[in-house]
Amino acid sequence: MNEIDFADRIAKASDLLAGARSVVVLSGAGISAESGVPTYRGAGAEPWDGLRAEQWATPEGYARDRQRVWKWYSDRRVQLGSIRPNAGHDALARLQRHLLKTGGKFTLATQNIDGLHQAAGCQNVLELHGSLLKVRCSRCSYRLTVGYEPMEEIPSCPDCGRPLRPAVVWFGETLPQDAWQAAVEAAQNCDLFMSVGTSATVYPAAGLVELAVASGARSIEVNLEPTPASGLVDIALHGQAGDVLTRMVGRRTG
Ligand code: BJW
Ligand code: ZN
């Protein structure tokens, strides 16, 4: 697509955004790619030890080699300490401030575990797949925020003695119910649903766009490449999230 067509689509998306009072954004790894965080699939993907996420991001993967998986999470946590939010995160934070200031509603549900939306100033982020900056007990309800600190050894739970684990959601595990219910409710009741930087392949999060569209919302996709959601949405914008969101939100907030 040439730049004029693309600019025209961005203008149409901006108009949809300008007419919306209640906006839901579902973000994925692609929005953090421009900050240097590897994606899981598609452009920018970096398999870990040659393995796809479906192979290591499981409770069985952790049970198989706890120390190795723990260290890998610890290394990722430390790397995050020097990673900053990018123009895409900033644009969504501006959009949230603008909508809230003008009496609108804004919900950001993220599949990301990197905390970069919050670092950009977004409030009330729904973390559907947990957080890399927290650990939890593998049995009881004990949780701890550890930030960017390295943790080479696996600590035992102070309450029950079981090994702690990263507070992320692995395949086959249910999503944090409060965040998931809030995301479902917001998707069912929004005017505009935006899917940003996600391959739209991991459920139930990927189902939010289907839910929003079925509930009557207008919809926009922003992603480097087409996804299974592209055919569902009103406007699919295939480009860098930082650039596209800055152009869309910049027009809206002035
Ligand atoms: C850019 C860009 C730039 C690059 N600008 N774009 C068969 C059918 C349907 C479902 C299932 C099934 N078999 C099993 C399931 C269920 C399973 C699932 O969906 N599997 C699929 C693989 C088929 N799901 C689960 O098990 C989930 N739990 C569950 O279902 O419980 C039951 C339940 C049911 C109903 C209600 C409640 C519960 C749990 C899923 C957990 C996912 N966990 C991970 C790991 C997190 C921890 C960690 O990182 O260590 O979460 S996997 C990984 O994938 C991570 C991500 O959040 C998730 C999604 O990835 P995301 O964000 O979309 O990123 P990518 O990399 O896939 O895509 C990035 C995109 O960006 C690409 O398209 C690029 O082109 C683009 N991009 N640069 C814009 N600059
Ligand atoms: Zn415990």
For this structure, is 129 an active site residue? yes
Instruction: Take atom 20 of ligand 1 and give the residue whose Cα is closest.
Output: 202
Q: Find tokens 């240097």 and name the residue.
A: 36
Segment 205-239, tens digit of pLDDT: 999 999 999 999 999 999 999 999 999 999 999 99
Whether 201 is in the pocket of ligand 1, judged by its Cβ within 6 Å, is: yes
Confidence of residue 56 (pLDDT cuts 50, 70, 90): confident
**57 CA distance to ligand 1 centroid (A)?**
10
**Residue whose CA is at the smallest distance from ligand 1 atom 15:** 203
Q: What's the rounded mean pLDDT across residues 13-39? A: 97
Its pTM stands at 0.96
Q: Which residue has the higher pLDDT, 174 or 53?
A: 174
Percent of the chain with pLDDT over 70: 98
Distance 251 CA to ligand 1 centre (A): 31
DSSP 55-111: HHSSHHHHHH-HHHHHHHHHHHHHHHTT----HHHHHHHHHHHHHHHTT-EEEEEE-
Tokens of 202: 């991991």
What is the pLDDT at residue 252? Answer: 58
- Ligand 1 near 87 CB (within 6 A): no
Per-residue model confidence (pLDDT) at position 46: 80
**Measuring CA to CA, which residue among 183, 184, 190 is closest to residue 216?**
190
| Bridge partners of residue 223, in order along the sequence | 238
Parallel/antiparallel/unpaired status of strands 218-223 and 164-168? unpaired
The ligand whose atoms approach the alpha carbon of 27 most closely is 1
The CA distance from 127 to 145, in Å, is: 14
- Among 175, 18, 183, which residue's Cα sits nearest to residue 107? 183
Q: Quick check: bond before 204 cis, omega within 30?
A: yes
